[in-house]
Structure 1
Amino acid sequence: MLGTMREDPQAMRPPDNHVHTRWSWDTSDSSTMQRACERAVARGLPAIAFTEHLDFTTWTPEDRATADGLVDRHASRHLPIDVDGYFAELEECRGRFPELRIWSGVETGEPHLFAASVAAHLRDSPVDRVLGSLHSLSQDGRLYGVGRLLYPDPDTTMRRYLAEVVDMVEGSDVFEVLAHVDFPRRYWPGGSDRYAEKDYEEEYRAVFRALAGTGRALEVNTTSPLASVDQVRWFHEEGGQAVSFGSDAHQPAVVGQHFDLAVDVVEAAGFRPGRDAFDFWRR
């Protein structure tokens, strides 16, 4: 039975490769790196990656968003990362928690639309981990959060979303981990328990074939409704090589949550610990 293993505190736990702190625009000031590190150590994690949101409300003529005719992002609260503050706190935590490997990172939204802007940010502020995410879809020249688009027609929106994820994978090589592949489930009309994953198997498999073809990792996100063994197995069957674990924490208490269950899911789908405690899990 899934979720009943790994009560031993010395059992191998994977790194948390997806954590947000106050340097992300949607995260409170009380969510500090220090508190997140304290939780990671308490949960026996070998490493943590602070992957702050890298989203764009304005973009350059060189970005595909311009060529696609996008003019703005609807009701945007997105703010840029305070890079100086971020790296100062990161270095402080590296000194404070020598037992924990601490990676820098970003979660870049819609990177296929903003390649030039992402490249400029990473050129000036390189990081250890880059996640790729799709949070928004275009409509009438604007980007809208996908949750807003679900309610009129969830089925069509979900299929469009997964097709856009394929486009993102094929159109951007900047990220090494695909985060929360079915992000819209969080906002599913009537509750995420009404979402029928099997209805979208072929769309998932198209994403997984594209991702596997690049050798990049699929994230098992433990804040999103947790992926089923079937979903992770589809990735394995389509040639997927690596899996990353991410809590997507926006508050310290969430760091590493449900990782025991996520490990059971990933192992049941055919993946095992990688070359060392800091690696992705592999087939």
Structure 2
Amino acid sequence: MTARTSARDLWATVENPQAMAHQRQRPPDNHVHTHWSWDTADSSTMRRACEKAIQLGLPSIAFTEHLDFTVWDPDDRATDEGLVERHASRHAEIDVQGYFAELTEVRERFPELRILSGVETGEPHLFGSSVAAYLRDAPVDRVLGSLHSLSHNGKLYGVGHLLWNDEDGTMRRYLAELVDMIESSAVFQVLAHVDFPRRYWPGGTHRFVEKDYEEEYRAVFRALARSGRALEINTSSPLASADQIRWFYEEGGEAVSYGSDAHNPSAVGQKFDLAVDVVEAAGFRPGRDRFDFWRR
């Protein structure tokens, strides 16, 4: 299997990925949402997600709820940049008390599973003061950094909205903003779904040509590698190719995190067997213990 093997090619080499599960170490799922996230159904409970993780033989799970802001601090960069609101926002705050009460419950119920607290911070470089205030009051084990939105005419717009006007320009702007986010925010440990816009690519994800953005991706990966943080391989997004993960490796990347980005318990650990093939083809291997990131 070569380092240039694509995710599609890997599917062809594995007739039954589930049958291979017992032959390899299963990685943790470091990116899972429950009903404490504003975009997730009430039926998506921590208990059901834990049951799925145990069924799959995962060593740990991190409940990384969406930490997004519709009202922000005067000291936030978003204020300095003149941003006034989010376009068509449904974002809502996390019920911290309820979240941690349920977390305590599942930790007691499933002692065989390591269960981490967490948040997925949207645009953390724009909301540094607000994120810091939240984490002072509700510290967590795992912090993901995500870029879901870009500024336009004084508002934050979801990337999918902007792609329909200028797909190429929006993608290049998105990747440049990721470099800025990495270099100006140290609050997160893992960079989530580096190619988030692919999910909403006009005309279908198959039209996205990853190679067209290699230099921009490499700039992101150089910045991330210099920071010493991990790159997520997100299995809810169209799965990253071994080429893309190899670019991170070649730019000095040290660690890869696996995240299902599950918003439904049935999606916990989805496509992890294929994701392991992709990550190993790029040169990464299991880390220091079964709870660790995978490392070079």
What TM-score, normalized to structure 1?
0.99
Partner of 1:2: 10
Report the secondary structure of 2:10's partner residue. coil
Cα 1:260–1:233 shift into 2, 3 Å: same
Kept in 1, the 8 Å contact 2:21–2:273? The answer is no
Kept in 1, the 8 Å contact 2:260–2:269? The answer is yes
Equivalent-residue separation in structure 1 for 2:128 and 2:26 (angstroms):
34
Alignment partner of 1:174 out of 184, 187, 193 = 187
Partner deviation per Cα, 1:207-238 (whole Å, 9 max, x = no partner): 00000000000000000000000000000000
Q: CA deviation at 1:104?
A: 0.1
Partner of 1:43: 56
Partner of 2:264: 251
Matched, 1:78 2:91: yes
Cα 1:10–1:46 shift into 2, 3 Å: farther
Report the secondary structure of 1:9's partner residue. helix
Partner deviation per Cα, 1:146-176 (whole Å, 9 max, x = no partner): 0000001100000000000000000100000
Equivalent-residue separation in structure 1 for 2:173 and 2:266 (angstroms):
34
Matched, 1:221 2:229: no
Q: Which runs of 5+ in 1 are unaligned?
A: none
The 5 Å alignment of 1:124-163 reads 124-163=137-176
Equivalent-residue separation in structure 1 for 2:210 and 2:10 (angstroms):
18
Q: How many residues align?
A: 283
Alignment partner of 2:126 out of 113, 119, 127 = 113
Alignment partner of 1:123 out of 136, 146, 149 = 136
Partner of 1:90: 103
What TM-score, normalized to structure 2?
0.94
Kept in 2, the 8 Å contact 1:10–1:44? The answer is no
The 5 Å alignment of 1:4-19 reads 4=14, 7-9=20-22, 11-19=24-32
Matched, 1:266 2:279: yes
Q: CA deviation at 1:8?
A: 4.0
Q: Which runs of 5+ in 2 are unaligned?
A: 1-8
Cα 1:8–1:138 shift into 2, 3 Å: closer
Alpha-carbon RMSD across the aligned residues, in angstroms, is 0.9
Partner of 2:6: none
Q: CA deviation at 1:10?
A: 5.8
Partner deviation per Cα, 1:234-257 (whole Å, 9 max, x = no partner): 000000000000000000000000
Amino-acid identity (%) = 77
Following TM superposition, the consecutive aligned residue runs of length 4 or more in structure 1 with deviations greater than 6 angstroms are none
